[in-house]
Amino acid sequence: MKTRITELFGIEHPIIQGGMHYVGFAELAAAVSNAGGLGTITGLTQRTPELLAKEIARCREMTSKPICVNLTFLPSVTPPDFPGYVRAIIEGGVKIVETAGNNPQKWLPALRENNIKVIHKCTSVRHALKAEAIGCDAVSVDGFECGGHPGEDDIPNMILLPRAAEELKIPFVASGGMADGRSLVASLALGADGMNMGTRFIATKEAPVHQRVKDAIVAASELDTRLVMRPLRNTERVLKNDAVTRLLEKERALGAALKFEDIAEEVAGVYPAIMQQGEMERGAWSCGMVAGLIRDVPTCKELIDRIMAQADELIRGRLARLV
């Protein structure tokens, strides 16, 4: 399948693995890229630019296909060494960067001078248009269904994607709620040039996370996610657990007076314990509604091959027979 996204990134299939904190290590990125998609290393999961440089080198030993690095720009008390991370990406020879969070404009000149393509992840048409205006090569449009940060507009992909298609000139991928060949064909029908998946790629053999994380996704239904941190305008879709119940009770009790410190125990620094030690009640972790469509833990290649075969059958079979 050839789309503007496969052409732009030089990949075989229009399927991207989005950056995921404490999930997007070299093993997963290489497995996705080797399967013909685009695998992504999560920059900030590496605590320093030096560690990111090592992770990129480790990934390079596992694949010669294009790989991507995610840079998430979020406000923080002690901002990460972004110039150092950008240098590690450039010196590591990575040619694709997924940016997310704040406007990436400041970093575009350095990336573009080094022939690095930028795909910016956003949750609204206005932010997608801004990304296009500042010179991003593509955008990843994340609907309300998505695991992680869906923004504050709550527009599901059935509306958001065709709206993006109406307005954007640059290519875009559909993100949030994507799991299979049906998702890919629907994304293409709604105007996207491919799809980005997060939660689905966690439940794969190569995802270097604890087995209990994969089991929790397989066991979850589409009813099992919750939105947390809305009062802080930093909404995150997470899988429900005892920590999330506690967090939501605090949000209800404190109302507008809620501060980050009140919920720090449930959200700050919890990812290593959950993802690596499998302490599933340790805190809130991002997970999409798409968990309801995930029932197995295949290899990345099995997953991507299955998606492409199902998409092919849908387009040439079921849809072609309807017209």
Ligand X SMILES: Cc1cc2nc3c(=O)[nH]c(=O)nc-3n(C[C@H](O)[C@H](O)[C@H](O)COP(=O)(O)O)c2cc1C
Of 13, 65, 121, 214, the residue at the interface with ligand X (CB under 6 A) is 121
Q: Does 72 bind ligand X (CB under 6 A)?
A: yes
Q: Does 258 bind ligand X (CB under 6 A)?
A: no
Q: What sign has the CA pseudo-torsion 136, 140, 142, 147?
A: negative
Of 46, 175, 183, 225, the residue at the interface with ligand X (CB under 6 A) is 175
Of 21, 226, 246, 301, the residue at the interface with ligand X (CB under 6 A) is 21
Q: Does 26 bind ligand X (CB under 6 A)?
A: no
Q: Does 19 bind ligand X (CB under 6 A)?
A: yes
Q: Give which of 230, 173, 213 is closest to 297, Cα–Cα.
A: 213
Q: Which is nearer to ligand X, 254 or 268 (CB)?
A: 268
| Beta partners for residue 16, in sequence order | 38, 196
Least distance in Å: CB of 236 to ligand X?
Answer: 9
The rounded distance, in Å, linking the Cα atoms of 188 and 19 is: 22
Of residues 210 through 229, those in contact with ligand X by CB under 6 A are none
Q: Which stretch binds ligand X (CB under 6 A): 4-12, 13-21, 226-234, 254-262?
A: 13-21
Q: Give which of 315, 118, 300, 112 is closest to 205, Cα–Cα.
A: 300
Of 141, 164, 290, 311, the residue at the interface with ligand X (CB under 6 A) is 290
Helix (H, G, I), strand (E, B) or coil at 214: helix
The rounded distance, in Å, linking the Cα atoms of 213 and 197 is: 16
Contact 48, 226 (CB under 8 A): no
Q: Does 42 bind ligand X (CB under 6 A)?
A: yes
Q: Give which of 209, 238, 298 is closest to 22, Cα–Cα.
A: 209
The rounded distance, in Å, linking the Cα atoms of 240 and 252 is: 16
Residues with Cβ < 8 Å from 84, sequence gap 6 or more? 48, 49
Of 33, 46, 70, 183, the residue at the interface with ligand X (CB under 6 A) is 70
Going from the C-alpha of 3 to that of each of 46, 48, 49, 180, 207, the distances in angstroms are 32, 35, 33, 17, 27
- Counted residue by residue, the chain has a size of 323
Q: Which is nearer to ligand X, 170 or 203 (CB)?
A: 203
Residue nearest to ligand X (CB): 198
Of residues 127 through 166, those in contact with ligand X by CB under 6 A are 142, 145-148
Q: Which stretch binds ligand X (CB under 6 A): 15-23, 31-39, 103-111, 297-305?
A: 15-23
Q: Which stretch binds ligand X (CB under 6 A): 46-54, 76-84, 284-292, 306-314?
A: 284-292
Hey, what are 274's tokens? 């959950």
| Beta partners for residue 172, in sequence order | 139
Q: Does 197 bind ligand X (CB under 6 A)?
A: yes
Q: Does 287 bind ligand X (CB under 6 A)?
A: yes
Check residue 28 and report its DSSP letter: H
Least distance in Å: CB of 310 to ligand X?
Answer: 17
Q: Which is nearer to ligand X, 61 or 212 (CB)?
A: 212
Binding residues (CB under 6 A) for ligand X: these are 18-21, 23, 42, 70, 72, 100, 121, 142, 145-148, 175-178, 196-200, 285-288, 290
